[in-house]
Structure 1
Amino acid sequence: MKRILLVRHGESEWNALRRLQGQADIGLSERGERQAHALRSMVATYRPDLVLASDLKRAVHTAELLGFPNAIREPLLREQDVGVWTGIEIAHLMDETPEAYADWRAGTFVPENGESWGDFRTRIATATEKALSAPAKTVLIVCHGGVIRAVLDEALGLAPARIIPVGPASLTILAFPKGRARLEVFNATTFAPILDAPD
């Protein structure tokens, strides 16, 4: 049976400040490095035979800390582009434009020069289809919180408004018995799950 393991990168320097990153190429914080390293043994138990990673350095570094320095870098797995909101603190958006921020989280608002949820989901679906069509039985994808929500929306019909942001260095698993997606694990960590993780 095919399985896809989805790992969100460890805490980044901007996650720690609760700034939206989008496709800004921000590195891991020291805490993020510890989180990713702590997840290594959990991921290893599944013995992935194909490893893909977003080409942004926070995902690549997480893959390295998980024990996969040769993960295939896939630009299609980049985070959703948030346009002019890149680098803005979430608290500022929630204070100044709370409805727009809530609608963006629900996938119904696009910041100026940003990527719509529909376009983002289509991009992630293309990357996921590559993983599903590969001969590997267990595929590890090291990526971003938005990417994981997009996969769950595409595979299970879970709209982004119905899913909390997955925490840093968390593991989500989808299985595909007879080709149909089934959620096996969501937001699992080696520490207490973070239920209010920044996007």
Structure 2
Amino acid sequence: MNRLLIVRHGESEWNAVRRLQGHADIELLQHGRNQALALRATVQALSPELVATSDLKRARDTAILLGFDDAEPLNDLREHDVGDWTGQAIKDIQTLNGDAYVKWRAGLFTPPGGESWAEFQARTKGAILRLAEKTSNTLLVVAHGGVVRALLETFLDLTPRRTIPVGTASLTVLRCNNGNHADMRLELFNYSPTGPRLDAPD
């Protein structure tokens, strides 16, 4: 692999009302479908050789809308499992326990019944390294905002407390220096052809 493209899925029903999704299998809104279609030409122009997607419907459908019907679905590319917080409104979590939410967003707190940040990082890193072995060129992964943040920390040492929420249907690009996965460079972050979204939902 010489370049890693990461796309967050388009806006879903729960993104729109700012509910944490985790592993819940939530549908895209029509707006989210339109976002993915708007990004399609940009991603196609980068000519990914290998394409994989989270097995959750919002990511799989985004991959299809980008033009990759045959993207390999992988459960290791699922969003961060937030356990008992699944389906809860972010504002309600913040009201009840704002400190825990801030720590979770920084990778320092695990919701009850959820997945630790370290477990999540290890899961997503393993998926990327296995996929990287299958191509010497460009790998495209269609996944989730948490996956983007986890991979930025894994490959760039950029911790989640240092990144804003990733926009829906946005593109982030990492390049391997001389094909070395341990020496990644950030080429693009949070790109959307319709303009940046600076208040994106987690």
8 Å contact from structure 2 (residues 39, 66) kept in 1: yes
For residues 97-132 of structure 1, give each alpha carbon's deviation from its aligned partner in whole angstroms, at most 9, with x where no partner exists. 110000000000111000000000000110110122
3-state SS, counterpart of residue 6 of structure 1: strand
**RMSD, aligned CA:** 0.9
8 Å contact from structure 1 (residues 27, 57) kept in 2: yes
Identity of aligned residues (%): 52
1:121 equivalent in alignment to 2:121? yes
- Residue of structure 2 in register with 1:185 after alignment: 188
Residue identity matched to 2:198: L
- The size of the alignment, in residue pairs, is 199
Long gaps (5+) in structure 1: none
8 Å contact from structure 1 (residues 55, 75) kept in 2: yes
Runs (4 or more) in structure 1 with deviation over 4 Å come to: none
- Residue of structure 2 in register with 1:156 after alignment: 156
For residues 77-104 of structure 1, give each alpha carbon's deviation from its aligned partner in whole angstroms, at most 9, with x where no partner exists. 0000000000000111111211000000
TM-score by length of 2: 0.97
3-state SS, counterpart of residue 172 of structure 2: strand
Report deviation, 1:192. 2.0
8 Å contact from structure 1 (residues 50, 136) kept in 2: no
Report deviation, 1:197. 1.1
TM-score by length of 1: 0.98
1:195 equivalent in alignment to 2:201? no
Residue identity matched to 2:197: I
1:40 equivalent in alignment to 2:40? yes
Report deviation, 1:136. 4.1
Long gaps (5+) in structure 2: none
- Residue of structure 2 in register with 1:95 after alignment: 95
